Chains A and B, each alone.
Chain A
Amino acid sequence: MAVSGILLVLFLVAHMAGNLHVFEGREEMNEYAHGLRTLGEPLLPHESILWILRIGLIACAVVHIWSAVVLTRRALQARPVRYASKKPAKGESRHAVATMRWGAIVVFLFIIWHLLDLTFRTVNPVKDVPDAYGAVIATFSPERWPVTVFYLLALFALFFHLRHGIWSAVQTIAGPDTKWRKRTQAIGLFVALIIVLGFAIVPISVTFGLVN
């Protein structure tokens, strides 16, 4: 859970930073997208590095989801009878109790939509794969505002997921003392904010016509 999660966070950082090419314009963005496919050429075949990264990413996602299913099943078996009275959570990651598992489902559904939208282009008006810039502008166009709203909702879920997930992964792998645990929680919150704001700025800018 922790190792696959950290690798997925590293992917998110790279993905978020790459998205910001949209602010440089159509040519630069499409050149970046093309660059990902031709990475390693001519030494390596077309899209080889891209596919290695994709397979690694899929493996991380599978391991992450499998770990979550195992943990959730163990949790359900460990408390066969529920409490009659509920108490508000009051631990250090109280938001995680309510958001981690439901948020994960929102993020999962979003990823399916996101792949159909911007990778396979099934639900995107721009079918021309090399035109990454055009596809981003088209999907977040003002008349398709529900797409932007869904994107932002998924980012909201992702924020809570990362806010807990980052420090939780460090706690599992490194086991910091109290001082470093508090620092890790602060760093996790900061990284979650950076990632989510970096992703959010693209659809917001396109929908409000700041990029077109």
Chain B
Amino acid sequence: MKLSLRIWRQPDAQAPGEMVSYEIDEVSEDASFLEMLDVLNERLISEGDDPVAFDHDCREGICGACSLVIDGQPHGPQAATTTCQLHMRKFKDGDSIDIEPYRAGAFPVIKDLVVDRSAFDRIIQAGGYISAPTGTAPDAHAVPIPKQDADAAFSAAACIGCGACVAACPNGSGMLFMGAKVTHLSLMPQGQPERATRVLGMVAAHDDAGFGGCTNTGECAAACPKEIGLDVIGKLNRDFRKAAVRAA
């Protein structure tokens, strides 16, 4: 298939960027979206041009490294799918496709389509963990956990921290990411001792990083490749309210 691409090119964080058009021929419909970009980059390199920089790692849809906003949608048009698992059969011969980086003040562009998502790391460092003694691993069932809680915590823990929620949110908010982490840990007995300090610390780090506030439009959940639901934002709100009241 033949495609017209418009890709955001930006040499570095300081330089201004622009959308640049590329024509690409003989794209296999069995290629993944990133493989299509690989083919384009091989051509650019052979022509002596700078290849398009984009983030990727496992290419199995589980690491959260790939990003891209494809035709205005984080991870492209297919629901519950990361960019690396999106295949060219979702597009038609002759399509023109816009490829942009995530747009958020908290995720500055480093080069082309690569953004710096370390703001998420700072949110995790502010409370998205449990403190546990090191040593041999405890027995798997030493701490009983109700099946419902385990399932809900597991669904929230499916978050790969890719940042699609921020990219999709009209307010540039990171509440779905933060809600997933808070929900995952606050449903577990191991997460209880730090439950209040966790939510207060994470929300403060989120706001410091320059993410926007949540207005419950639900665009984040619709874009999430792991189908994290808005209930995690509800749980985050509830935990935050309780912790803030107790801290006051």
Interface, chain A (partner B; CB < 8 A): 70-71, 74-75, 77-87, 89-94, 96-97, 100, 164, 167-168, 171-178, 181
Contacts and interface: CB of A to CB of B under 8 A. Distances in A.
B234 A82 contact: no
Given A171-B230, A181-B230, A78 B217 contact: no
A84 B213 CA distance: 23
Contact of B212 (A79, A85, A90, A93): A79
- Which 7 A/B pairs are nearest by Cβ-Cβ distance? A91-B218, A78-B172, A87-B72, A175-B234, A92-B218, A78-B212, A175-B238
A79 B231 contact: no
B106 interface: yes
Contacts of B213: 70-71, 74-75
B234 A91 contact: no
B6 A84 contact: yes
B218 A94 contact: yes
A87 B73 contact: yes
A79 B230 contact: no
Contacts of A70: 213
A179 to B, nearest CB: 9
A75 B212 contact: yes
A94 B237 CA distance: 21
Given A89-B217, A96-B215, A164-B216, A171 B233 contact: yes
B41 interface: no
Contact of A81 (B103, B230, B238): B103
Given A74-B212, A78-B173, A85-B72, A91 B100 contact: no
Contacts of A181: 230-231, 234
B215 A79 contact: no
B39 interface: no
B237 A172 contact: yes
A171 B234 contact: yes
Contacts of B241: 173, 175
B35 interface: no
B100 to A, nearest CB: 6
B164 interface: no
A79 B104 contact: yes
B153 interface: no
Contact of B222 (A79, A90, A96, A171): A90
A92 B69 CA distance: 20
B189 interface: no
Contact of B171 (A75, A85, A176): A75
Contact of A78 (B69, B168, B171): B171
Contacts of A91: 168, 217-222
A164 to B, nearest CB: 7
B112 interface: no
Nearest to B79: A90
B212 A97 contact: no
A89 B217 CA distance: 9
B98 A168 contact: no
B94 interface: no
Interface in B202-226: 210-222
A94 B216 CA distance: 10
A88 to B, nearest CB: 9
Nearest to A167: B216
A85 B231 contact: no
A114 to B, nearest CB: 26
A87 B216 CA distance: 18
Contacts of A90: 219, 222
24 contacts: A71-B171, A75-B213, A78-B104, A78-B105, A78-B212, A79-B172, A84-B6, A84-B100, A85-B72, A86-B72, A87-B72, A90-B219, A91-B219, A92-B230, A94-B217, A94-B219, A164-B217, A168-B216, A173-B237, A173-B241, A174-B237, A175-B235, A176-B231, A181-B231
A124 B206 CA distance: 50
B244 interface: no
A173 B211 CA distance: 20
A165 to B, nearest CB: 9
B50 interface: no
Interface in B75-111: 98, 100, 103-106
B105 A79 contact: yes
